[in-house]
Chains A and B, each alone.
Chain A
Amino acid sequence: MEHNTPTTVSEKIPFWRDVRVLRVLFQVVFLFGVILLLAILYRNMLAGLRGLGLTLNLNFLQNEAGFDISEGIPYEPSDTYLKAFWVGILNTLKVSVIGIVCATLLGLLFGIARLSSNWLIRTIAAIYVECFRNVPLLLQILFWYTAVVAQLPRVRESISLFDGAFINNRGIYLPAPEPTSGLKIWLWFLGAGLILAVILYIVRWRKLEQLDRPGFRAKWALPAFLIVAFCGWFLTPGSPFTLDFPVLQGFNFTGGFSFSPEFSALLIGLSMYTGAFIAEVVRSGIQAVVKGQREAARAVGLKEGQMLRLVVLPQAVPIIVPPLTSQYLNLAKNSSLAVAIGFPELVHVGSTMMNQTGQAIPVFAMVMVSYLIMSLTTSAAMNWYNRRINWLNR
C-alpha cells in the first residue's frame, strides 16, 4: 500500500531516513502534541475554575432544579436538573420530528412544483425557494414569533373556528381525541384489519411475481384495511373516541390540545426554511435522471404514474437521500435557535441550568454529547438505508 517503500532494499537505510520508522515517529510526535495541547487546556481550565471557587462534577444533576419549564412532558420545579434536561431533549426531538415531516412535505410539493409545466406554479415555487433560502433562519423565526404569532388577538378575542378550535396569541387550541371504553373493541377491529391486509399484501405480491409484472403491491391491502377500520368505527358501541374541546376558563383555555406560540413560530420557521432547501434537493434529484430515461419509459408504454414510480424515482431517490439526510440533521441542529424565542428545548434548558448552577462546562458537554448522539445515529441510519438502496438498484 505504501508506494514510497522501495521493493528491493539493496543496502541498509539509516533509520532516520527509513520511511517505516518515520511514519511511526511522526505519529507519535503528532499524538504527543495533541495530548499536550489538550492537557494544557485542561490544566488551564482546572486552574481557572479553582480561582473562581468552582468544582467540576455532575453531582448537581441530582439537585432540585427549582425553575419551571413551560412545555413538554409533566415536570415540576421540584424535579431534578436531570429531569429538566430530559424534558429539553424530548422537546428538541418533538420539534425536530414534526419539523422534518412538515419540511419534507413542503419540500416535495415545491420541488415538484419547480418542475411543473405550468409557468405560474413554477415561478411561485422558485420565488418561495429563493426568498426563504436566502434569509437567515433566526431572522425568520423571530419574524414569525414577534411579527405574526404575537400579533394574534388576545385570549378573550380569540379567533374561533367552528367553536372547537381557537387561535390567539397564547397558542393554537384544538379539540383532542379522548379514548373511551369503546377504544378497546375498536383496537380489535384494527388488529383484524391489519392481519387481513398483510395476507392480501402477500397474495398480491406473489401474484405479481408470478405474472412478472410491475404493479402496486398494496393495491388490495390498503383499501381492505381502511374498510375494516371504518366499519369497526361504526360497529363499536358508543364511539372509540370523544373530542375534548378547549374551553376558556379563568385566564386561559384549558383542555384540548394546544401548541404554544413559541412552538408554532419555531415549527413554521424551521419547516419553511428547510422546506426551501429540500425543494432544491428534490428538484435536482429528479432533474439528474436523464431525460432519455423518461422518453424510453413512455416508449415502452408506461403510464405517467408508472414512469414516475418505476423509472424516475428509483433513480432519483439514491441521489436525493444523502443531501436530504444532511437537511434533516440541519433542521434538528437548527431547532437550537429556539433559545432566541424561549421554546424550552435542549439549549434553552441547558443555558438556564448553566445559569442557576454555574456549572458551565459539564452542562455544555452534556448538551453537545446529546446533539452528537442524535446526529451520529441519524447519519448512521441514513447511511445504512443509502447502502441498501444502492445495493437493491445494482
Chain B
Amino acid sequence: MRKYLFQTAALVLAISLVTPLIANSQESILDKVKERGRLVCGVNKELPGFGFLNQDGQWQGFDVDYGRAIAAAVLGDPNKVEFRPLKAPDRFPALQTGEIDVLIRNTTWTLTRDTDLGADFAPPTFYDGQGFMLRKDLGITSLKELAGATVGVTAGSTTELNLADTTRALGIEVESIVFEETETLYQSYDQGRCDVVTSDKSQLVSRRQSLKNPDDHIILDITISKEPLGPVTVHGDNKWNDVVSWVVYATFFAEEHGITQANVNTFETENPEIKRFLGESGDIGAKLGLSKDWARQAIAAVGNYGEIFERNLTPLGLPRGVNKPWTQGGLLYAIPFR
C-alpha cells in the first residue's frame, strides 16, 4: 500500500505546485514595470545606428534611445532599462510570452503582425523601405538583371516575404538563402556566399560600414516596399500601448516646438499645450498612469526626435528623407497633447 502512496506522492506535489498557476494575471505591463522598477526592452544587437553594444559594453542606437526614453517617462530614470538582444525570429515569441515589455527592434508594422502575431504597434519612428545591396563590379542597375542570382535575407522578416513577392511579379527566379542572424548574413555576403543582400535600406547603409571594403558595394536606387518601423507592445494591453505611443509622440512634439534635451528643463513658454506637455499644467500624465513630468523626463533623457536621429543615424550617412516633422514636409505628426 505504501508503494502506491509513494508513487502518487510526487504527483500530488506536482499538482499542488501547479494549482497556483491557475490564477491568471490581468495586470497591465505598466504596473509590472513600475513594480519591478526596470523596463525590459527587446532590441537588435547587431545593427549599428539602431541597436548595438559599443566597445565599452554600453547599448547604443536609435531604438535603444527610445527604450531609454520610455524608461525615463515611466520610472524617471533612463538607466532603469534592461536591453534584451533578440534575433528576428525570436522577437514575437519574446513579446507574446512576456519576456520583454516592449519590442523596439526595427520592426515593420504589417497587418498580419498586428493581428495574427499578437502584437500592437506604436506609431512608426522610422519610415523605411526595402532595398538591395550588391558589388559595384557586377554593374547591375535594375532588378530584372538579378535573375539567377543568390540573394541573402534574414529569417522571420518581412523582407523575406517581399523578396518572394517581387521576384514573382517580375517573373524572375532567384535563389534565396535565409540566415537566422543578421551578422552571418553580412559575413556570408562579404565572403561571396550570396551575390545580393536585401533588407531595409537603413540596415543596408548601417551594415555596409562594417564590410571589409565598404566602397566596393552599392545600394541600388530601388525601393520595393514600405517599411514603417516602430515600437511594439503585446496585443490587448491598451494602457501600456498608450504609454509607449505617447512617448513616441512626445519626441515628435518636442521637435515640432523646438524643445531639446538642453532646454527642456528651462523652457519658458506661454503656449498652453506646451505647458501641459511639460507638466506645468493639466494632468495628461495621470491620464496615462504616469507622473506629471513624464514627457520632460523623456526628452531630458534622450532629446527630441531630431536629436535622437542626429546622434545615431546621421553619422552613418542616412539622410532624414521623409523622417522629418510634417511642418517640414515629412511624415512625423504628433497628435495633440490635450
Contacts and interface: CB of A to CB of B under 8 A. Distances in A.
**Is there direct touching of A and B in the complex, by C-beta distance under 8 Å?**
yes
Interface of A: 17, 19, 22-23, 26, 29-30, 33-34, 36-37, 40-41, 43-44, 47-48, 51-54, 66-68, 70, 77-78, 146, 150-151, 154-155, 169-170, 249-252, 254, 261, 339-340, 342, 344, 351-352, 354-360
Interface in B172-205: 175-180, 184, 187-188, 191-193, 195
A44 B116 contact: no
A247 to B, nearest CB: 12
27 contacts: A29-B8, A33-B8, A37-B14, A43-B22, A44-B24, A48-B24, A52-B96, A52-B118, A52-B236, A66-B164, A68-B164, A70-B175, A70-B178, A146-B184, A146-B187, A150-B193, A154-B192, A155-B192, A170-B150, A251-B195, A252-B148, A252-B175, A254-B148, A351-B89, A358-B117, A358-B118, A359-B116
Contacts of A43: 22
Contacts of A19: 1
A44 B21 contact: yes
A170 B192 CA distance: 8
Interface string B286-307: 0000000000000000000000
Main secondary structure of the interface of A (DSSP, over half): helix
Contact of B116 (A22, A70, A254, A358): A358
B279 interface: no
A54 B116 contact: yes
A60 to B, nearest CB: 8
A250 B147 CA distance: 9
Interface of B: 1, 4, 7-8, 11-12, 14-15, 18-19, 21-22, 24, 88-89, 92-93, 96, 112, 115-118, 147-150, 155-156, 160-161, 163-165, 168, 175-180, 184, 187-188, 191-193, 195, 234-236
B148 A250 contact: yes
A263 B122 CA distance: 41
Contacts of B117: 358
A146 to B, nearest CB: 8
Contacts of B235: 51-53
B21 A251 contact: no
B116 A357 contact: yes
Nearest to A70: B177
6 closest cross-chain pairs (CB), A and B: A52-B118, A77-B164, A154-B192, A355-B156, A358-B117, A26-B4
Given A33-B11, A342-B180, A355-B89, A53 B193 contact: no
Q: Classify the secondary structure of B's interface with A.
A: helix
Given A67-B164, A339-B180, A355 B18 contact: no
A352 B179 CA distance: 11
Nearest to A51: B236
Contact of B193 (A170, A351, A352, A360): A170
Given A48-B24, A66-B161, A70-B175, 13 more contacts: A26-B8, A33-B15, A68-B163, A68-B176, A154-B192, A252-B175, A261-B193, A342-B180, A344-B178, A351-B156, A352-B156, A355-B88, A356-B161
Nearest to A19: B1
Contacts, number: 132
B118 A250 contact: no
Contact of B15 (A26, A36, A44, A250): A36
A77 B168 contact: yes
A344 B160 CA distance: 14
A17 B235 CA distance: 55
A67 B178 CA distance: 10
Contacts of A78: 168
A53 B8 contact: no
Nearest to B188: A150
Nearest to A18: B1
A113 B203 CA distance: 53
Contacts of B118: 52-54, 358
B11 A30 contact: yes
B18 to A, nearest CB: 6
A23 B3 CA distance: 10
A36 B14 CA distance: 11
B1 A22 contact: yes
A358 B110 CA distance: 13
A342 B21 CA distance: 37
A339 B149 CA distance: 23
Nearest to A150: B191
A33 B12 contact: yes
Contacts of A77: 161, 164-165, 168
Contacts of A26: 4, 7-8
Contact of A355 (B92, B187, B188, B191): B92
A352 B178 contact: yes
A388 B37 CA distance: 66
Most buried by B among A19, A34, A47, A53: A53
A112 to B, nearest CB: 38
A150 B184 CA distance: 11
Nearest to B12: A33
Contacts of A29: 8
- Point out which of A68, A77, A155, A344 has the most chain B C-beta atoms below 10 A from its C-beta: A68
A47 B24 contact: yes
Nearest to A357: B116
B96 to A, nearest CB: 6
Contacts of B165: 66, 77
Nearest to A153: B192
Contacts of A36: 15
A342 B177 contact: yes
Contacts of B187: 146, 150
A47 B18 CA distance: 16
Contact of A249 (B148, B175, B179): B148
A355 B187 CA distance: 24
A357 B93 CA distance: 11
Contact of B192 (A30, A169, A249): A169
A37 B19 CA distance: 8
Nearest to B146: A251
